[in-house]
């Protein structure tokens, strides 16, 4: 018998509105027929909609970790509200008549099976899909264009610096924005984003003093990017294999979108990994013109804090699934890692959830770093790299939470070293104001996930607490 | 490492970025920093490199093209990297224990659920109230992370949202919420602070009364008046209330009077009576209207003052002051009933000519309303006596008679004498009387309503739509409460809306009359056309007759600026057979706005039905 919880159905939904609409269909009794197959693997039914005929929808659990939703409605959201509604109806215990599996579902299942079979056969025969052939002359041309683009970018940047930020007016911003467009032609989407970020900082107006500080930082970052990018591209141009650098993040900065197959090829995969999400949030990145969903996860075997990133371009945001907080342990047959040093980006395409156990919580605590001196040294190393992660996330063990008379919150390690906790500008939501609400057992001998930020105008490195973990559970302060 | 020196260099470089790197050559402030870097550079390679960077920046010859910019960038990049390793993590003072106020709430909701509510409570714009209300109903506010947002909602610029937080969201946390409200309480604040007091009183009651009393003494007027009102009913604070009732500020006194009105003690009653006898009469009167404490005394004084009327007549000044006083008595006893009051109001009706001559018509109105609501035959006789002199009271008398008399008597007493008079010599007064009668009958048989409908013609996001409409009371009620002769009477008076209401099956004459009226007045813009259609249904006209009448009205050229069709009309349209489709499609272009949407919907449904 199929077991479904509404929170699991929630997690399948592409966005919050779909959840509401799906539940709404059940509430309004729009389903005119609710059926399930004899063995319970298939839910199907009919739902009345605005059209004259009913929508026929089904959810197939024949492969439990990959439920397949099908519907005759024209929605581009997937699963659509009808399929979600069907599952909510099941969760709520509505009566589902037992009926034979419809013809078309059977034939669709068959097709999937066949596809799997051929895949398995191929794997058996060892005939892995052949690596894609790289068109070397085209790649060379692309590199030449990228180098040319870096020159154009540098020329613009240097002329801006010679004239001074104070002389930048709306006309200059227009020129910068024209360059933003050009960067696309030079195959430099990474440069495009960073230059747009610079233009946004200056066109935001109002508080010039603050935006100048960020603008100067952005200029030096662009400088470092141009220098490193040029060195890397020149070297790559001369390399007969034209291989990508899979250790640093430079390829991503230049705008390369790594494909899972490429990551696998260079060995950036782990088999049978288990991840536990410790924090999640979402923000609007105006420079990328995308919404970004960020999850921070602990890989239990290595103790690394990884990052899942989902970009949802403004133009396609309506049709993409919004990521959400994930409360179970993700068991992954294959975990793909992106190049990088700290909080590397990871991806997976198959996942089976399982409930969090006491052992998982103990593992969190065991993986928390106990010496702040060491942890911060590593973090600062990352921070000082101009193209490195500016908001490293660490899992720290805290002997206790504290507060100074002036009201500053602190984290203290076993050797007595303190770390100041503060809300950082990079996060959309404050969390420190929640600290006093924590019960005493959440204030001592705990693991805390923090995000760091260097406040350059004050010369201070501060941390915002994201999540507190003890043996009893996980208290998410952010999301 | 000298962080201060590095920070100083950072500031100088920032200055050059803003002013332009072309000005770097020979910059004296950088030059001044150079020796220190060179000195430190003898021991530390990092400072040496910085020193070299500075000197190459300041010592370059002018007009070197982009070199200055490149040098500035290189130096800033190096300095930036160094500074990133120097970030201080030390707190300003040695930390102590965390001042904690634990609250037992969970943190198990996902981003998508929380962020929506947080956004609704931190922005402005439409649709926020529904989000917050839904969230509250689903228990989303029991997540710890929404607590700060819930408290902040008391400050929301949309007052309904702030009041929802005050009345529902925050009280749901129970007593523990008090500590959080007390912590951020600002007695000099405005509405948001007064809402906090409401919540505190509601969840903690007597425990926090000392605090509320303090707020009543020291705070902004807004906070004080709220706090004073909240002290009502807490015996221990009556002395304070008595003091507040003496204050100079009017809003404070007003609040104190209202709070005292809830008290049971002699002192409170005496103080209110004192106020009612003095210059605070207005404040005291409105406070007393919510309490029964002083009713006996008030009624006694009311009667006594009323008797003074003949005395003061002619003295304008005394007339005016007595009239004001009588008005305040009225305010204090509004909505209350007692024998004393019945006597007072009866005597006013008996002497109505006295009061009318003084121009105190509102006094007679109150009396007529009060006596009318008693539903007694004596009362009816009294009002009828007044009515004979003044048509203004015909509605009062008629409505009361409608409740007390049988339908036949009512008809005979009101319709027949009027008809006789009209037949004889219709003077101006009789005409006016007739108008009044028609109006009061219409008020009784036709209900006006403003209702929200599930507007199926709209997209699902904005389905609920409020429409005002006219509807006759049910045919059963007409049959029970009204004499059958009223139908003829309405027809003679040529009142189609009354005819529609009184219509009953089997009157072919009436059907013809209504059809003719609809033909003359087909505009759906005013509600009478739909009333006529309802009348046709009452008279038992065949469905096809009514459908044809409806269609003809729709097609009439005068129907060119209808905004929305009545739900009755809309339902009738939905029931049309699909043979009407071509005619509907032909008229569609003349209908815009909601009516256009409604018609399109009808056409869509009809055509779908046609295909099946």
Q: Which of B3, B23, B83 sits opposite A456 (nearest CB)?
A: B83
Residue numbers of the domain that contains A276:
260-362
A130 in any annotated domain: no
Contacts B612 to A, Cβ<8 Å? 52
Q: CA geometry: angle at B442 spanning B438 and B443, to 5°?
A: 120
By the 8 A CB rule, do A31 and A22 touch?
A: no
Taking CA–CA distances from B145, the nearest residue in chain A reads: A477
Q: Domain check: are A375 and A354 in the same one?
A: no
Chain B: closest CA distance from residue A229 (Å): 15
Q: Domain check: are A14 and A120 in the same one?
A: yes
Chain A: closest CA distance from residue B272 (Å): 46
By the 8 A CB rule, do B121 and B153 touch?
A: yes
Q: Which of A166, A404, A459 sits opposite B95 (nearest CB)?
A: A404
Contacts B81 to A, Cβ<8 Å? 384-386
User: Is A438 in Cβ contact with B100 (below 8 Å)?
Assistant: yes
H or E element at residue B446: strand B446-454
Under DSSP, is residue B54 helix (H, G, I), strand (E, B) or coil? helix
User: Is B23 in Cβ contact with A52 (below 8 Å)?
Assistant: no
By the 8 A CB rule, do B469 and B534 touch?
A: no
User: Is B74 in Cβ contact with A456 (below 8 Å)?
Assistant: no
Check CB contact of A161 with chain B, cutoff 8 Å: yes
User: Is A161 in Cβ contact with B21 (below 8 Å)?
Assistant: yes
Q: In terms of pLDDT, which residue wins out, A313 or B489?
A: A313
User: Is B107 in Cβ contact with A477 (below 8 Å)?
Assistant: yes
A185 in any annotated domain: yes
Lowest mean pLDDT among A141-155, B127-141, B277-291: B277-291
Q: Which residues of chain A have pLDDT under 50?
A: none
Return the pLDDT at A129: 56
A254 in any annotated domain: no
Interface of A with B in 1-40 (CB under 8 A): 10-11, 15-16, 19
Instruction: Single out the residue in A346, A362, A378 at which a domain terminates.
Output: A362
Taking CA–CA distances from B84, the nearest residue in chain A reads: A384
Q: Which of A402, A434, A462 sits opposite B96 (nearest CB)?
A: A402
On the question of pLDDT at B212 being above 70, the answer is yes
User: Is A437 in Cβ contact with B100 (below 8 Å)?
Assistant: yes
On the question of pLDDT at B240 being above 90, the answer is no
Chain B: closest CA distance from residue A198 (Å): 14
User: Is B87 in Cβ contact with A454 (below 8 Å)?
Assistant: yes
User: Is A439 in Cβ contact with B102 (below 8 Å)?
Assistant: yes
Q: Domain check: are A89 and A173 in the same one?
A: no
Q: Domain check: are A350 and A388 in the same one?
A: no
* Alpha helix segments (H runs only) across B472-527: 475-481, 485-492, 496-502, 508-520
Q: Which of B17, B90, B98 sits opposite A165 (nearest CB)?
A: B17
Check CB contact of A373 with chain B, cutoff 8 Å: no
Chain A: closest CA distance from residue B84 (Å): 5
Q: Which of A162, A436, A463 sits opposite B66 (nearest CB)?
A: A162
User: Is B97 in Cβ contact with A164 (below 8 Å)?
Assistant: no
Instruction: Single out the residue in A311, A328, A362 at which a domain terminates.
Output: A362
H or E element at residue B465: strand B464-472
Check CB contact of A75 with chain B, cutoff 8 Å: no
Mean local confidence (pLDDT), B230-257: 77
Could you give the CA distance from residue B217 to residue B503 in angstroms, rounded to a whole number?
Answer: 66
Chain A: closest CA distance from residue B69 (Å): 6
At A58, list the tokens.
């089904």
Could you give the CA distance from residue B108 to residue A349 in angstroms, rounded to a whole number?
Answer: 25
Tell me the average pLDDT of chain B.
82
Instruction: Single out the residue in A92, A124, A156 at which a domain terminates.
Output: A124
User: Is A420 in Cβ contact with B89 (below 8 Å)?
Assistant: yes
pLDDT digits 0-9 by tens, B28-52? 888 888 888 888 888 888 888 898 8
User: Choosing among A82, A296, A325, A369, which should be mutated to test the B contact, i.e. which has the most B CBs within 10 A?
Assistant: A325
Return the pLDDT at B25: 81
Q: Domain check: are A295 and A374 in the same one?
A: no
Q: Domain check: are A109 and A13 in the same one?
A: yes
On the question of pLDDT at B546 being above 90, the answer is no
- Hey, how many other C-beta atoms are within 10 angstroms of the C-beta on A246? 17
Contacts A381 to B, Cβ<8 Å? 85
Interface of A with B in 107-126 (CB under 8 A): none
Contacts of B269 (CB under 8 A, 6+ apart): B263, B293, B294
Contacts A460 to B, Cβ<8 Å? 87-89
- CA distance to A17, B448, B499, per residue, from B442 (Å): 48, 10, 10
Q: Domain check: are A354 and A372 in the same one?
A: no
Q: Domain check: are A349 and A408 in the same one?
A: no
Could you give the CA distance from residue A369 to residue A375 in angstroms, rounded to a whole number?
Answer: 7
Chain A: closest CA distance from residue B82 (Å): 7
In chain A, the largest separation of any two C-alpha atoms, in whole Å, equals 77
Q: 3-state secondary structure string, B163-218?
A: HHHHHHHCHHHCCCHHHHHHHCCCCCCCHHHHHHHHHHHHHHHHHHHHHHHHHHHC
Return the pLDDT at A85: 92
User: Is B70 in Cβ contact with A437 (below 8 Å)?
Assistant: no
Could you give the CA distance from residue B476 to residue B504 in angstroms, rounded to a whole number?
Answer: 10
Mean local confidence (pLDDT), B70-88: 89
Contacts A410 to B, Cβ<8 Å? 91, 95
Q: Say how many CB pairs under 8 Å bridge A and B.
A: 204
User: Is A166 in Cβ contact with B19 (below 8 Å)?
Assistant: yes
User: Is B144 in Cβ contact with A437 (below 8 Å)?
Assistant: yes
User: Is B113 in Cβ contact with A158 (below 8 Å)?
Assistant: no
pLDDT level of residue B425 (50, 70, 90 thresholds) = low
Chain A: closest CA distance from residue B216 (Å): 29
Contacts A478 to B, Cβ<8 Å? 145
Return the pLDDT at B426: 61
* Number of domains, chain A: 4
Q: Domain check: are A29 and A85 in the same one?
A: yes
Q: Which of B66, B87, B118 sits opposite A460 (nearest CB)?
A: B87
By the 8 A CB rule, do B20 and A167 touch?
A: yes
ipTM of the complex: 0.83
Return the pLDDT at A464: 95
Q: CA geometry: angle at B257 spanning B251 and B260, to 5°?
A: 140
At A180, list the tokens.
């933003």
> Using a CB cutoff of 8 Å and minimum separation of 24, what contacts does A44-51 make?
A44/A86, A44/A99, A44/A101, A44/A102, A44/A105, A45/A86, A45/A89, A45/A96, A47/A82, A47/A85, A47/A86, A49/A73, A49/A82
pLDDT digits 0-9 by tens, B352-382? 877 777 778 888 888 888 888 888 888 888 8
Domain of A371: which CATH number? 2.40.50
Q: Domain check: are A221 and A324 in the same one?
A: no
Chain B: closest CA distance from residue A387 (Å): 11
Contacts A475 to B, Cβ<8 Å? 107, 144
A250 in any annotated domain: no
Contacts A378 to B, Cβ<8 Å? none
User: Is B111 in Cβ contact with A324 (below 8 Å)?
Assistant: yes
Contacts A456 to B, Cβ<8 Å? 10, 80, 83-84
User: Is B104 in Cβ contact with A429 (below 8 Å)?
Assistant: no
């Amino acid at each position: 018998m199929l077991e479904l919880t509404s929170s699991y159905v929630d997690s399948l939904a592409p966005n919050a509105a779909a959840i509401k609409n799906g539940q709404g269909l059940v509430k309004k009794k729009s389903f005119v027929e609710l059926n399930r197959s004899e063995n319970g693997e298939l839910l199907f039914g009919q739902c009345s909609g605005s059209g004259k005929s009913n929508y026929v929808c089904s959810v197939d659990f024949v492969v439990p970790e990959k439920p397949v939703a099908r519907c005759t409605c024209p929605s581009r959201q997937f699963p659509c509200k009808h399929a979600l509604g069907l599952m909510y109806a099941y969760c709520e215990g509505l009566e589902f008549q037992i009926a034979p599996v419809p013809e078309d579902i059977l034939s669709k299942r068959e097709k999937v099976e066949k596809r799997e079979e051929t895949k398995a056969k191929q794997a058996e025969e060892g005939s892995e899909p052949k690596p894609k052939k790289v068109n070397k002359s085209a790649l060379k041309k692309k590199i030449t264009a990228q180098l040319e683009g870096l020159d154009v970018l540098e020329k613009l940047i240097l002329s801006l610096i010679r004239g001074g930020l104070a002389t930048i007016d709306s006309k200059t911003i227009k020129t910068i924005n024209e360059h933003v467009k050009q960067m696309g032609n030079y195959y430099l989407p990474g440069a495009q984003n960073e230059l747009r970020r610079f233009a946004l900082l200056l066109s935001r107006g109002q508080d010039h003093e603050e935006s100048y500080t960020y603008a100067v930082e952005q200029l030096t970052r662009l400088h470092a990017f141009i220098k490193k990018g040029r060195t890397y591209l020149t070297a790559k141009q001369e390399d007969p294999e034209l291989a990508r650098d899979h250790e640093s993040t430079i390829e991503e900065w230049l705008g390369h979108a790594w494909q899972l197959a490429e990551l696998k090829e260079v060995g950036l995969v782990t088999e049978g990994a288990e991840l536990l999400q410790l924090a999640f949030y979402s923000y609007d990145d105006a420079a990328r013109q995308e919404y970004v969903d960020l999850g921070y996860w602990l890989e239990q075997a290595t103790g690394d804090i990884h990052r899942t990133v989902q970009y949802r371009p403004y133009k396609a945001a309506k049709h993409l699934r919004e990521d959400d907080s994930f409360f179970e342990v993700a068991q992954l047959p294959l975990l793909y890692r992106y190049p990088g040093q700290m909080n590397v980006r990871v991806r997976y395409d198959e996942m089976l959830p399982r409930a969090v156990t006491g052992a998982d919580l103990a593992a969190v605590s065991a993986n928390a770093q106990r010496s702040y001196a060491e942890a911060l040294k590593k973090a600062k190393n990352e921070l000082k790299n101009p193209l490195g992660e500016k908001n490293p996330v660490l899992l720290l063990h805290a002997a206790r939470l504290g507060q100074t008379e002036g009201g500053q919150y602190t984290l203290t390690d076993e050797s007595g070293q303190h770390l100041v906790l503060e809300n950082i500008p990079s996060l959309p939501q404050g969390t420190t104001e929640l600290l006093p609400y924590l019960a005493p057992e959440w204030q001592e001998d705990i693991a805390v996930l923090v995000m760091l930020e260097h406040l350059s105008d004050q010369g201070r490195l501060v941390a915002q607490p994201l999540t507190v973990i003890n043996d009893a559970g996980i208290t998410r302060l952010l999301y | 490492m000298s962080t201060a020196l590095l920070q100083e260099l950072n500031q100088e470089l920032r200055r050059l970025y803003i002013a332009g790197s072309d000005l770097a050559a020979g910059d004296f402030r950088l030059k001044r920093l150079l020796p220190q870097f060179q000195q430190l550079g003898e021991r530390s390679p990092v400072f040496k490199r910085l020193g070299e960077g500075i000197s190459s920046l300041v010592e370059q010859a002018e007009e070197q093209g982009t070199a200055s910019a490149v040098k500035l960038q290189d130096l800033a990049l190096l300095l930036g990297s160094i500074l990133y390793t120097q970030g201080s993590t030390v707190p300003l003072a040695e930390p102590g224990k965390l001042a904690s106020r634990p609250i037992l709430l969970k943190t198990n909701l996902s981003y998508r659920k929380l962020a929506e509510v947080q956004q609704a409570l931190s922005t402005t714009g439409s649709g926020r109230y529904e989000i917050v209300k839904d969230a509250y109903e689903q228990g989303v506010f029991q997540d710890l992370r929404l607590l700060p947002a819930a408290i902040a909602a008391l400050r929301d610029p949309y007052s309904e949202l702030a009041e929802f937080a005050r009345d529902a969201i925050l009280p749901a946390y129970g007593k523990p919420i008090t500590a959080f409200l007390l912590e951020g309480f600002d007695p000099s604040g405005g509405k948001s602070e007064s809402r906090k007091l409401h919540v505190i009183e509601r969840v903690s009651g007597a425990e926090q009364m000392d605090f509320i009393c303090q707020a009543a003494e020291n705070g902004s007027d807004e906070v004080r008046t709220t706090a004073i009102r909240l002290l009502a009913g807490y015996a221990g604070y009556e002395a304070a209330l008595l003091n507040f009732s003496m204050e100079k500020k009017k809003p404070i006194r007003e609040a104190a009077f209202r709070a005292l009105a809830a008290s049971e003690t002699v002192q409170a009653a005496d103080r209110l009576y004192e106020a009612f006898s003095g210059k605070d009469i207005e404040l005291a009167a409105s406070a007393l209207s919510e309490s029964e404490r002083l009713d006996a005394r008030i009624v006694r004084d009311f009667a006594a003052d009323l008797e003074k009327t003949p005395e003061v007549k002619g003295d304008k000044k005394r007339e005016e002051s007595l009239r004001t006083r009588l008005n305040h008595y009225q305010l204090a006893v509004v909505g209350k009933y007692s024998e004393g009051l019945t006597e007072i109001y009866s005597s006013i009706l008996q002497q109505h000519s006295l009061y009318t001559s003084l121009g105190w018509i509102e006094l007679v109105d109150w009396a007529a309303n009060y006596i009318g609501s008693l539903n007694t035959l004596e009362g009816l006789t009294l009002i009828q006596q007044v009515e004979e002199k003044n048509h203004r009271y015909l509605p009062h008398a008629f409505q009361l008679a409608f409740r007390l008399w049988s339908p036949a008597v009512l008809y005979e007493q009101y319709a027949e004498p009027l008809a006789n008079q009209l037949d004889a010599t219709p003077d101006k007064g009789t005409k006016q009387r007739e108008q009044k009668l028609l109006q009061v009958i219409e008020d009784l048989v036709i209900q006006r309503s403003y209702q929200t409908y599930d507007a199926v013609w709209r997209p699902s996001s904005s389905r609920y739509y409020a429409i005002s409409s006219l509807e006759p009371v049910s045919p059963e009620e007409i049959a029970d409460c009204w004499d059958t002769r009223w139908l003829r009477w309405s027809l003679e008076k040529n009142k189609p809306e009354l005819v529609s209401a009184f219509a009953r099956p089997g009157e072919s004459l009436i059907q013809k009359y209504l059809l003719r009226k609809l033909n003359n007045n087909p505009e759906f813009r005013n509600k009478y056309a739909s009333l006529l259609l309802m009348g046709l249904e009452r008279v038992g006209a065949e469905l096809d007759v009514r459908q044809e009448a409806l269609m003809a009205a729709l097609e009439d050229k005068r129907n060119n600026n209808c905004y929305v069709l009545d739900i009755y009309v809309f339902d009738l349209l939905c029931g049309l057979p699909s043979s009407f489709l071509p005619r509907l499609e032909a008229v569609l272009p003349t209908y815009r706005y909601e009516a256009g949407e409604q018609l399109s919907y009808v056409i869509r449904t009809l055509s779908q039905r046609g295909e099946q």
